[in-house]
Structure 1
Amino acid sequence: MTRDRVSAWNERADGRFAAGDYRGAERLYRSALAAADRGGRTSRVTAVLLNSLGVVCKHLGKFREAERCYRRALGVLTERDDTGPADLAALYHNLGGLEHARRRFARGEPFARRSVQLREQAVGAHHPDLAADLTALAALLDQQGKYAEAEHLYRRALAIFRRAYGPEHSEIASALNNLAALHQARGDDARALRTYRRVFALQERLVGPAHPDVAFTCNNLATLYTATGKPHLARPLYQRALAIFESSLGEAHPHTAVCRENLRRLTERTRRRIRKKSSRV
């Protein structure tokens, strides 16, 4: 009975997470984990649930708790004789992603490289799981200014994703979003704009207009419009992103705070320009 209950909670939590309801997913994963713990702390099920809970906590900005979950899961798996490289790769991937969220990019790079190494050992060079690891490593590299290697990895990952999934998939949208940010960082605003627009249209079709992923792209696109002197295009995108973040992630989440600050700065710059023009009349 406990196993059935854990399975049901886990399945519902996965659904809530996919829909962008991270707080609902967190509650369900915690219920499943509590039940699994009663059945044995070192079970593989416990490790899987800890990993899933860590992912949700990262998305909710609970970084310390996410790290505790990942490291506890890693301890569970390393104590087992039946743990394969793919199991460990998933946790190293997530540890690297957590450091990215913390903006500790250099600290995350070794985790991500270990994930790629383990995953290729487990599934080969053309598997979409490897492509996800390549994307995560590239994201850490481009934040350190290692643009050439990052772009190579993004394009390698995109080729794998397209062979595996076709032209439309959430992993493709995620990799393209990161590639657009890389183009922007390099100063290639035209390519960044084209890529963000592709991502935006793809995400709306895949996950709907109110998903946090859409808000993230809205914020990025608005930042590009702001940098290229188009505040009238940036403002509605910031406003839309902020409404989604507040609704789905809460007002205290880091994404919400960054978006709110971006909108505040844009508003202040607009007011200063208006005052300056008025003083010249």
Structure 2
Amino acid sequence: MTDFFKELDALYQSGDQAAVEGFIRHRLEALEAKDLGDSPEYASVLNELAGFYRGVSRYEEAARYFAQALEIFKANGLGTSPEYATILLNLAGLYRLTGRPGDAVSLFLDAKKLLTDGGLQNGDAYAAVLNNLSLAYQDAGAPDKAYEAALEAFELVGRDATDTHELATSLNNLAVLRFRMGDDQQAEALIDRALGYYDDMGEENAHHAAALSTKASLLYRAGKHGEALAYFNRALALTERFFGRNIDYAVCLRNIAAVNEALGDIRVARAHVQSALPVFEKILGPGHPRTKESRALLDKLTAEENDR
């Protein structure tokens, strides 16, 4: 499947989401035509389709295909394999994104155990589990465990200077945790290292946007609103390129609105919230807290603009 993944990576780099989805679905259809719809290869491609849907915030479809891929691996006697653990990791990430941090932590720990039992504690997949486990612990309100997992991931990938993708992710996770602890100086040192790795990669990376947002948040808290705006705008552009107008895109719009509000540009702030609101409504529903908060903020900014 090397050629498949190589071409898929190139399509992701192009930013053409329709082409990515079509390419993956075409591969599934080709496998079905060969009566390989219950094969491990088919499950691996399903995992890619589910991962794509997760990235573009089509969460129900992502959950369905992750579950189908897991069932196929189990039916083939591969329920303890590294590939199975990888899909567990991806499904756990979906749970985290959809507000189920407890379930996410549980699945991340299951994936971690499978990799440990297989003697794979030094690989990229193990580092990815630790990095994502750190995020889930943050969401679950367990900052100490989050920091422990992020630090373990950083120490693991730090042994291999060539693995800059997971190293940059680890640095960003540590920076976010330090930021939340109020240690802005250490957070900035960490995120600047992460951004340095992303800048040296030679091609854009889907995770670069998260690091840019972390840097922007630090600048915003420091009162450097103009610089923060530039970083948030870069994060917004990268998010849209790789994932379209997903939840992260809407969150970034809200952040840009906050910066513009701080700069006194209510009109621009309102426009960004107005753009974010339909994304939240479509993906999360009208009753979700984020949707309600955005609607209330839009009303507030509209009133302020009308009073001017």
State how far apart, in whole Å, the 2-side matches of 1:22 and 1:75 are.
30
Q: What code does the residue aligned with 2:200 have?
A: R
TM-score by length of 2: 0.78
State how far apart, in whole Å, the 2-side matches of 1:168 and 1:116 are.
19
- Equivalences, count: 264
* Conservation of the 8 A alpha-carbon contact between 2:225 and 2:262: no
Q: What code does the residue aligned with 2:207 have?
A: D
Residue 218 of structure 2 is aligned to residue 217 of structure 1: no
Q: Cα gap change, 1:214/1:207 in structure 2, threshold over 3 Å: closer, same or farther? A: farther
State how far apart, in whole Å, the 1-side matches of 2:224 and 2:93 are.
32
Residue 62 of structure 2 is aligned to residue 66 of structure 1: yes
Residue 227 of structure 2 is aligned to residue 240 of structure 1: no
Residue 141 of structure 2 is aligned to residue 155 of structure 1: no
State how far apart, in whole Å, the 2-side matches of 1:129 and 1:263 are.
33
Residue 259 of structure 2 is aligned to residue 266 of structure 1: yes
Aligned counterpart, 1:187: 182
CA drift at 1:82? 4.7
* Conservation of the 8 A alpha-carbon contact between 2:78 and 2:84: no
Residue 174 of structure 2 is aligned to residue 204 of structure 1: no
Q: Which moved more, 1:264-273 or 1:184-193?
A: 264-273
Residue 126 of structure 2 is aligned to residue 130 of structure 1: yes
* Conservation of the 8 A alpha-carbon contact between 2:86 and 2:125: no
% identical aligned pairs: 23
Structure 1 residues without counterparts, runs of 5 or longer: 1-5, 274-281
* Conservation of the 8 A alpha-carbon contact between 1:20 and 1:211: no
State how far apart, in whole Å, the 2-side matches of 1:272 and 1:31 are.
47
Q: Cα gap change, 1:108/1:149 in structure 2, threshold over 3 Å: closer, same or farther? A: same
Q: Deviations over 1:202-246 (max 9, x none)?
A: 1111153x5432222222211221122221221111222223333
Q: What code does the residue aligned with 2:263 have?
A: T
Aligned counterpart, 1:85: 81
Q: Cα gap change, 1:207/1:113 in structure 2, threshold over 3 Å: closer, same or farther? A: farther
Q: Cα gap change, 1:245/1:131 in structure 2, threshold over 3 Å: closer, same or farther? A: closer
State how far apart, in whole Å, the 2-side matches of 1:7 and 1:129 are.
18
Structure 2 residues without counterparts, runs of 5 or longer: 267-308
Q: What code does the residue aligned with 2:126 have?
A: L
Aligned counterpart, 1:255: 248
Q: Cα gap change, 1:11/1:35 in structure 2, threshold over 3 Å: closer, same or farther? A: farther
Q: Deviations over 1:177-208 (max 9, x none)?
A: 11111111111111111111111111111153
SS in structure 2 at match of 1:271: coil
State how far apart, in whole Å, the 1-side matches of 2:192 and 2:124 are.
24
CA drift at 1:84? 3.7
State how far apart, in whole Å, the 1-side matches of 2:142 and 2:202 are.
31
SS in structure 1 at match of 2:76: coil
CA RMSD of aligned residues (A): 2.2
